[in-house]
Amino acid sequence: ASYGELETEQVRQDLTAIAVRQGTRPRPGRRQEGGSRAASGGLADGHPRYNANNVSHIQENPSSEAESAVRQDRRERRFAQRQALWAITSLDRVRKCGRTTNGNVGDGLAAIVVNGSVAHWSGFCTCGSIWACPVCSAKIRATRADEIARAVAAHMTRDGGTAWMVTLTARHKRHHDLAPLFDAVANGWRKLMSGRAWAGDPKRGVLGERDRLGVRGNIRSMEVTYGTRNGWHPHLHVVLLLSNETGEELAYAIHRWDKTWRAWMKKQGFEPSKEHGVKWSKVTTPEEAGEYIAKTQEGKHIGNEIARGDFKNGKFGTLAPFELLEYFRQTGDMAILPVWQEYEQGTHRRRAITWSRGLRAELLGDEPELSDEEVAAEEVGGETWALLPAESLRAIRRVPGLQTRLLDAAENGGFVELVNLLTAYHLTYQAGPDAPKTEASPAAS
């Protein structure tokens, strides 16, 4: 075969590296944070259960008090970050998310609705931004992780294929604007997926990498982090689905991708380095692939001991987008503003998660594909316990954390506890049509 000037030694090293990585699940703890519904769907017994069209109830109905507490903590953090975001966002929809009523439960009203052991707000606008909004993003990403896990399960379990997680990244030397960085990464991907090495030369009967490996398609996501020293750091996470994998062909592909990617990035002014390039690891479970693509960009938690000024004085290394928000929420440091707004503008209307053409239908059949906005706006419904007028909603907004504490109260202490909290804050409300009948439930207060 005419594979060009590949060095046998390099190929051998690549294969050894893969063998070492196989079976290791990279950074499992962090991915878990994303709350993939599929992850709780349980492959623990080795038996995939991905044929259910909707497994959302697994996440919506936590099975233990501990799970419930973890979920409440996450919700509290996300809501608090969104509340901080209202003050600094450059996007109109985001400023209205969870704040402006949409009229669905009555003019100017929002409702507390309870479904099983989970309470939620109904009647607010949602922004549907997977990039900028901590609340919508978590919901969208959980849904996407679930879809991807089920698709990869169909590919691996039903069709006997293999899958790889490929990370493409580049280190840059100086501060670049975000938008051109995105383009460099996206175009680098296009470069990999084209040309003779990839597509072969059909006229001469030469098969390309795509045919030799039986590449079925890919699902990929663009991610971005912010380094206090080097600025924006976008990277691409790809799940590559193969149906005809051999060690040799794979080694050639790994070598070619690395070479092509580095050459491209160098041309764009990036610094090629061994740790910043192309990384491959084999997918061992479908939900791992889902989380790899759709995990939240919350990052590790930056903790409570941060101080105003830490951002400028370089206390942090690399921050995930919502860590920028968390820093702002805790310190109110407006130094974050230009960085955050560049992030919003640079990502706005960009696709975060992309499936290669035809792949979704091939793996998930005619399951309808909801847009990010539709996923974010989707409500599970339930019993309407309380309706709150505009003046109460305004008062709630003025007390940090109260929006989620009301939900916590309903979940932990039922209707009585909810009413107690509303009363403690002198909040006018109307008992909803499904409010449980108790002595503590006046028709209005």
127/151 with CB nearer Zn ion: 127
Instruction: Considering the complex, state which of residue 55 and residue 376 has its C-beta at the smaller distance from Zn ion.
Output: 376
Query: What percent of the chain is helix, strand and coil (3-state, nearest 5)?
Result: 45, 15, 35
Contact residue for Zn ion among 109, 125, 127, 293 (CB under 5 A): 127
Q: How far is the CB of 98 from Zn ion (least distance, A)?
A: 6
Region of 129-137, 146-154, 283-291, 350-358 interacting with Zn ion (CB under 5 A): 129-137
197 binds Zn ion per the rule CB under 5 A: no
Q: Residues 42-81 vs Zn ion: string with x where CB under 5 A?
A: ----------------------------------------
Residue nearer to Zn ion on the CB measure, 88 or 193: 88
Q: Is 106 left (phi over 0), alpha (psi -120 to 50) or beta?
A: left
Inter-CA distances, 119 with 46, 383, 398, Å: 33, 9, 21
- Give whichever of 145 and 377 is closer to Zn ion, judged by the CB atom: 377
Q: Which of 39, 43, 97, 363 binds Zn ion (CB under 5 A)?
A: 97
Closer to Zn ion at the Cβ: 127 or 250? 127
Shortest Cβ distance from residue 322 to Zn ion (Å)?
A: 12
Answer yes or no whether residue 251 interacts with Zn ion by CB under 5 A. Answer: no
Q: Is residue 324 within 8 Å of 343, Cβ to Cβ?
A: yes
Q: Under a CB-based contact definition with an 8 Å cutoff, are residues 391 and 425 in contact?
A: no
Residue span binding Zn ion (CB under 5 A) among the ranges 42-50, 122-130, 323-331, 386-394: 122-130
Q: Measured from the CB of residue 437, what is the shortest distance to Zn ion in angstroms?
A: 35
Pick the closer one to Zn ion by CB: 133 or 178. 133
Min CB(97)–Zn ion separation in Å? 3
**By CB under 5 A, residue 91 contacts Zn ion:** no
Of 251 and 376, CB closest to Zn ion: 376
Q: Is 391 exposed, middle or buried (0-12, 13-18, 19+ CB in 10 A)?
A: exposed
Rule CB under 5 A: choose which of 133, 181, 250, 364 binds Zn ion: 133
Least spacing, CB of residue 114 vs Zn ion, in Å: 21
- Only one of the segments 95-103, 170-178, 300-308, 350-358 lies at the binding site for Zn ion (rule: CB under 5 A); that segment is 95-103
Burial letters 208-221, b for 16+ CB under 10 A, else e: bbbebbebbbbbbb
Min dist. Cβ of residue 376 to Zn ion (A): 6
Least Å from the CB of residue 96 to Zn ion:
9
Look at residues 420, 435, 425 and name the one whose alpha carbon lies nearest to residue 387. Answer: 435
> What is the helix (H) or strand (E) element at residue 332, kind and residue range?
none
289 is a site residue for Zn ion (CB under 5 A): no
Query: Minimum distance from CB of 150 to Zn ion (Å)?
Result: 25
Nearest Cα neighbor of 290 from 136, 153, 137 is 153
Q: Who's near 233: CB < 8 A, 6+ residues apart?
A: 169, 171, 172, 224, 225, 226, 227, 318
d(CA 337, CA 41): 39
Beta carbon of residue 35, minimum distance to Zn ion (angstroms, whole number): 16
Using rule CB under 5 A, residue 352 touches Zn ion: no
Nearest to 59 by CA among 83, 80, 38: 38
Contact with Zn ion (CB under 5 A) among 80, 91, 136, 294? 136
Whole-angstrom CA distances from 17 to 100, 283, 285, 297, 335 are: 52, 15, 20, 28, 42
* Strand bridging mode 118-122 / 215-227: unpaired
Q: Which residues pair with 58 in a beta bridge?
A: none
Q: Hey, which bits of 180-284 come out as E strands? A: 200-201, 206-207, 215-227, 231-242, 270-271, 278-282
Interaction site with Zn ion (CB under 5 A): 97, 127, 133, 136
